[in-house]
Structures are given as structure tokens and as C-alpha cells.
Amino acid sequence: MNADFLLKIDALSVSFGGVKALENYKLSLPPSRILGIIGPNGAGKTTLFNVLTGFIRPDSGHIHFNGQEITRWEPYQIARLGISRSFQNICLFGKLSVLDNVIVSCQIHERTSFLSALSKTRAYKKNEKALREKAWKLLCVFGLEKHADRRAMTLAYGDQRRLEIARALATAPKLLIIDEPAAGMNPNETQDLLDLILKLKEKFNLTIVLIEHNMNLVMQLCEYIQVLNYGRLAAEGLPLEIQQNQEVIDAYLGDTNNAGSN
């Protein structure tokens, strides 16, 4: 296991019935990079994210994160180790307040016991207060503090997406996985999102893996790109290489002049 890589995946395969969703996928991702994963719908991108975060068990292959094999771990264990994600279709606690959504994620590294919660020891209370402040600060980074007491499901769509990223960051991840963050956003919002992701990467020292259909965003943001097609790696390389790869253009990008328009 090479310690230079934060995330290393070897020969990963997943199939659903007869359909091979991922076949012999591999990745070596050094820390502090932004990796983009593109490909047509059904190419296996979201399956890859689900395997990475423990929601789907792979048929074969190995995943190492931060020097540890995490291949068959439970989602909560993986979250605790430092992989956090946002969903393509937003997955918030809709009935909880915006602040509670973040608090509940902040607390995963706390070691408070149930008995201390019942007995309300001083240390416990202090801890609760610290959590609350930490969650509040995170909301401020995203400009969501004015909505702190609203139920998450009443937020505007863009705010829900940002809350989802805020909540993902509350677990203090090393690796942030973002599934189609720009879906349904207009060009202005997309530009804001791009700035936000870059800001977060610096501020929280993150490594980021991103699925996105908006080629403009992917090409501007990502340092390295993988193209998936029918569960296989069709190509990988620097953004410029991908843009000039004839196979990729035929299969996915289409006419490069229109590539950013979607």
C-alpha cells in the first residue's frame, strides 16, 4: 500500500444481477486533489460513490483509504474514518432544523456516552455547547445561518444543496464526494458553486471527488478526470487530454463547442 495516495482502488467490480455496473475499476488519488468523474447516465458513477461510502458491497476488488482497507466497512464506519458525501438527489433530514442537520453530523467524533447525556455532566454540557458553536460557524461559511431554525425541507433548492455540503463537512472529512452539485443550477449559481468548492478545499484541506455533467464546471475545477462508460474506465487524464480524446468526444462530450451549454 503506497502511502502517497489518500484513496487507492484496485480491480473493483460490482454487478446487479447480470448487469456489470462497474468492472475492474481502479484509481490512485493523492491528497489535496480534485478528481472529476464523467460519463453518460448509467455509466456506474453513482454506483462507484455508493461502493466508496459503504452503501453497496462490491463483488471483488479493494479500496484503501488513508492507509486502511475499507472495502466491506459499514457506511457509518467509513463516515467516521473521513469520507463524506453529498447525494445527487438531496438526502437531508427534512424534518430537522437546518442547525440540527449540521449538529447531528458534527457529533460523530464525540465520545459522549448515553449515561452522561442523561446525567448531564458538566463536561457533557460544555461539549454540547462546543458542538452547537461549531455547527453555527459552519452554517456561517455557507451563509445559511439566517435559516438555522427552519426545517431543512422548507429551504430553497440551492440552499438545500449547500446545506448538504455543509453537513458533509461537519463530519470533518478528509475526502469529500460530491454527486452532481450543479444539477438544476443556473450559470450564476454554478459559478458561485465553483468558487465555494475551491474555497472549501483550501479552508478544510480537502481532497474532492466530483460527479458532474456540467463540462464547464468539470474542466475548470478538476485537476484530473476519469471517464466511465458501461462500468469501465474509458479514459483518464488531465482536463486538456480528455477534451482532446477522440473516443471521449464521440462517446460523451459531443461537439466541444457546445460542451458547456448544459
Partner 1 sequence: MSHTAYFFQQFINALSLGSIYALVTIGLAMVFSILRLINFAHGDLMMIGSYSILMLWNAGVPVWMAILAGIVLCGIAGVIMERVCYRPLRGSAEMTTLLTSFAVVVLLENGVTLLFGPNTRPFRILNFTSPTFSIDSILISKIDVISVVLTLIILLLTTLFIKKTTIGISMRAVADDLTASHLVGIRLNRVIVSAFFIGSLFAGVAGLLWSARAGKLYPLMGFIPVVKAFVAAVIGGFGSIPGAVVGGYVLGFAEVFLVALLPPELQGYRDAFVFILLIFILLVRPQGILGAKTMQRRI
Residues that bind partner 1 (CB under 8 A): 53-55, 74-77, 79-80, 84-85, 87, 91-96, 100-101, 103-105, 107-108, 110, 112, 114, 117, 128, 131, 167-168, 170-171
Closer residue to partner 1 (CB): 131 or 248: 131
Region at 68 (left for phi over 0; alpha for psi -120 to 50; beta for the rest):
beta
Closer residue to partner 1 (CB): 108 or 140: 108
Q: What are phi and psi of 231, to 5 degrees?
A: 80, 0
Q: How far is the CB of 105 from partner 1 (least distance, A)?
A: 4
Q: How far is the CB of 155 from partner 1 (least distance, A)?
A: 15
Name the CA dihedral angle for 173, 178, 179, 185, rounded to a multiple of 10 degrees: 140
Is the C-alpha dihedral spanning 4, 165, 87, 130 positive or negative? Answer: positive
CA-CA distances (angstroms) from residue 165 to 35, 88, 125, 253, 254? 17, 11, 27, 27, 30
Closer residue to partner 1 (CB): 47 or 53: 53
156: Cα separation from own chain's centroid? 21
The long-range contacts involving 133-136, CB below 8 angstroms and separated by at least 24 positions, are: 134/106, 134/170, 135/99, 135/102, 135/103, 135/106, 135/170, 136/99
Closer residue to partner 1 (CB): 57 or 247: 57
Q: What CA–CA distance (Å, rounded) separates 127 from 231? A: 45
Q: How far is the CB of 258 from partner 1 (least distance, A)?
A: 35
Q: How far is the CB of 256 from partner 1 (least distance, A)?
A: 36
Query: Of the candidates 88, 98, 76, 104, which has an alpha carbon nearest to the alpha carbon of residue 46?
Result: 88
Q: How far is the CB of 133 from partner 1 (least distance, A)?
A: 13
Closer residue to partner 1 (CB): 94 or 187: 94
Q: How far is the CB of 103 from partner 1 (least distance, A)?
A: 6
Closer residue to partner 1 (CB): 119 or 257: 119
Query: Of the candidates 93, 100, 16, 4, which has an alpha carbon nearest to the alpha carbon of residue 50?
Result: 16
